[in-house]
Structure 1
Amino acid sequence: MDISVVLATYDRDDILAKTLSSFSKLDVAECEWQLFVVDNACRRETEALVSGYCESLPVKYLQQKSPGKNNALLTAMPLVEGELVVFTDDDVVADSQWLLELWQASQRLMDYDLFGGRILPLFPEGMGPEPGVDLSQGFTRAAYVIADWDLPEGEIRPGRIWGPNMAVRKRVFESGITFDPKIGPSQSQAYTMGSETDFLLRAAGAGFKSAYVPKALVHHQIRPNQLSIDWLKGRALRQGKGKAALFREFDHYKHLFGVPRFLYRKLITLKLRSLYYRLTGDKSRYYHNAVELGMYQGIHEFYRGLSTTKSSPKAS
């Protein structure tokens, strides 16, 4: 088996249908491959949708009741047979050459074990982000999962490989490195981001190298609710929480009630600026401030959670 493709899904069959439809048009004549769709909502409707593609795709439907994307991905891992394990999301539209480009790159770049392809946004027809949203900003590009690096095929840092278009040689998992179920998207809106980053950093730390494959292209479906500044701010909060958990860069600061002391002044300042920019109608500055505010709220939320855990009495 050459390639195993793994994706998790949760109760969004209309989006998943577009993804599976694009997979049915893949040019994979020279590859033997398999596809695992892991349903984290365990819905009969999703099972029926996936089963409808059994004649056009080498797909197997799996279920995982434990919430969380990483729990779902881990469900498929004992079943994968491919030399190259490709991870994607249930909201992509794949270019017809996507898998073939990843496979051929893995055969050219034999010294590399981690591969990331190109990701472009697919906005709803006739719609765009709320006024003020800056598509050139690094955070916004990350929120919409725009991985379009101005680089040729070849070595990149692992942080530039993103979840909807990520391939990993099976030997990385055979070395004992895998996904952490405590990190990553889940049904809770307060989940800690960074599942792929955590995995890739540990793999890089073990000596596995990363490569960019710009010809391997998928489009990321942007939903109408994701066009608002409020949604992007929520994304910033989760990102701030995830970075705090991954890097623990504020642990050495002086703390007050379990939270780095500087955060209190920072949050008050950002909230006052937010009010000012809203009142003056400065949409661009309001957006940039909202993102920064969300980030620091996420950091605050992480440390408050740590403090609560430490102060909770142990069961006798």
Structure 2
Amino acid sequence: MQLTVIICTYARESLLENSLKTLCKQTIDRSHYGIVVVDNACRPETQQVVEKYGAQYVMEPKIGHSVARNRGMQVTRSPWALYLDDDIQAPVDLIEKFLARIVTAHYAALGGEVRHWFLTTPPRWLVRYYNKPYRPVGQTEYGELKGEEYLIGCLIAVRKSAWEAVGGFSDSVGMHGKEVGRGDEDEFQLRLRAANYKIYYDPEIYIDHLVQPYKYTLKGQLQLAYASGRDGIGMRGNHVLSLWELFLRLALITGYSVPFNVARVLFKPGYYWQNGIVDCLTKYYFAWGEFFPHRYSKR
């Protein structure tokens, strides 16, 4: 067996079951891949769902998405692991496509395109943020990612030997239970590159990823922006802002971004007042996140 799917979950049994259903309807036989579910909430309800679909159930009581991901890799016996979120929908040929690539791969990580699905009808202003698939910027063909480009974290296959060589995922970033966090996959890929491992992208590989209902609200969008600034230090040129840099950043946002987005609300069709608020305030919150030392740096 060349590939094990690792899904980390936290008290979301209905979403997890939906994901497992799609992973058990693949074009390739289950003897060619395994499924491991790491339960970060340690709930019997989760175990029941996992066992219903013949997957391996693993408990990880220490809270943290990265902690759960590392635990999943520790129990994996295949040379590759495919990390998926518990709220995805996999096309029937997802595993077959990954196996076709990794069997001769000389790289350490492989990912693809992330499309979107909605559990409930989203507000009309939200659709503009999810009307296109997520992919590394500028990457349209199969090949190596260069520079500061990163695979999308909910669809990433990793060679186990490379994971071991760089020390796995860091629990200083990323989700902690239901607390919003970002950056764990990017930070991991940053260390892969520093160790001279190659990272590849394949546009023919894709999944559908749920746009969580909390993102339908202004509060949810601001939480994401703040976490992105706070957890992205050291990546994409981001650094901890000094007080002077923070004031300068806020002044630039106020002087340029605010009037620009007000003009878009007034004159651009399909650009709603909610978009103007989100596009302005998220910049403030991102900068605010960059201003503070990392919340987990002392753990």
SS of alignment partner, residue 233 of structure 2: helix
Q: Does 1:61 align with 2:57?
A: yes
Q: Please tell me whether the aligned partners of residues 238 and 295 of structure 1 are also in contact (alpha carbons under 8 angstroms).
A: no
Q: Identify if the C-alpha distance between structure 1 residues 9 and 20 changes in structure 2 by more than 3 Å, giving closer, same or farther.
A: same
Q: CA–CA distance in 1 between the matches of 2:186 and 2:159?
A: 16
Superposed displacement of residue 76, structure 1: 1.8
Corresponding residue number in structure 2 for 1:297: 285
- Native 8 Å contact 1:177 1:202 kept in 2: no
User: Is the 1:155–1:211 Cα contact (8 Å) retained in structure 2?
Assistant: yes
How has the CA–CA distance of structure 1 residues 210 and 90 changed in structure 2, closer, same or farther, with 3 Å as cutoff? same
| C-alpha RMSD of the superposition | 3.4
Computing the radius of gyration from Cα coordinates, the structure with the larger value is 1
**Number of aligned residues:** 293
Classify 1:205/1:288 alpha carbon distance in 2 versus 1 (closer, same or farther; 3 Å). farther
Counterpart pick for 1:81 among 72, 77, 82: 77
Aligned counterpart, 1:231: 220
CA contact (8 A) 1:6 1:35 kept: yes
Q: Deviations 1:123-173 (Å, cap 9, x if unpaired)?
A: 236x234326523xxxx57xx973387622222237341112101112212
Q: 1:216 to 1:264 in 2, by over 3 A?
A: closer
CA contact (8 A) 2:261 2:276 kept: no
Unaligned runs of 5+ in 2: none
1:167 aligns with 2:157: yes
1:9-24 matches, cutoff 5 A: 9-24=9-24
Q: Residue 174 of structure 2 contacts residue 183 of structure 2 at CA under 8 Å; is this kept in 1?
A: yes
The question of whether the paired residues in 2 share the 8 Å contact of 1:238 and 1:298 is answered with yes
My pick for the range that moved more, 84-93 or 265-274, is 265-274
Distance 1:14 1:190, change over 3 A: closer
Structure 2 SS opposite 1:74 = helix
1:79 CA drift (Å) = 1.3
- In 2: Cα distance, 1:289 partner to 1:79 partner: 45
Aligned with 1:92 (options 72, 82, 88): 88
* 2:162 aligned partner, one-letter code: V
The equivalent of 1:314 in structure 2 is none
Given that 1:130 and 1:229 are in contact with CA atoms closer than 8 Å, whether structure 2 keeps it comes out as: no
Give the whole-Å Cα distance in 1 for the aligned partners of 2:20 and 2:180.
Answer: 29
Instruction: Give me the TM-score of the superposition, normalised by structure 1.
Output: 0.79
Q: Distance in 2 between matches of 1:30 and 1:189?
A: 34
Percent sequence identity over aligned pairs:
20
Kindly indicate whether residue 171 of structure 2 is the aligned counterpart of residue 181 of structure 1: yes
TM-score by length of 2: 0.83
2:154 is paired with a residue whose SS is helix
- Deviation of 1:47 after TM superposition, in Å, equals 0.9
CA distance in 2, matches of 1:231, 1:130: 16
Task: Identify which range, 94-103 or 221-230, moves more after superposition.
Answer: 221-230
Question: Is the contact made by 1:93 and 1:220 (CA closer than 8 Å) also made in structure 2?
Answer: yes
For the residue of structure 2 that corresponds to 1:163, the secondary structure is coil
Q: Contact 1:273–1:289 at 8 Å: present in 2 too?
A: no
Structure 2 CA distance, aligned partners of 1:274 and 1:233?
19
Equivalent pair of 1:130/1:227 in contact (CA under 8 Å)? no
Aligned equivalent of 1:101, options 77, 82, 97? 97
2:248 aligned partner, one-letter code: F
> Is 1:123 the counterpart of 2:118 in the alignment?
yes
Q: 1:202 corresponds to which residue? A: 191
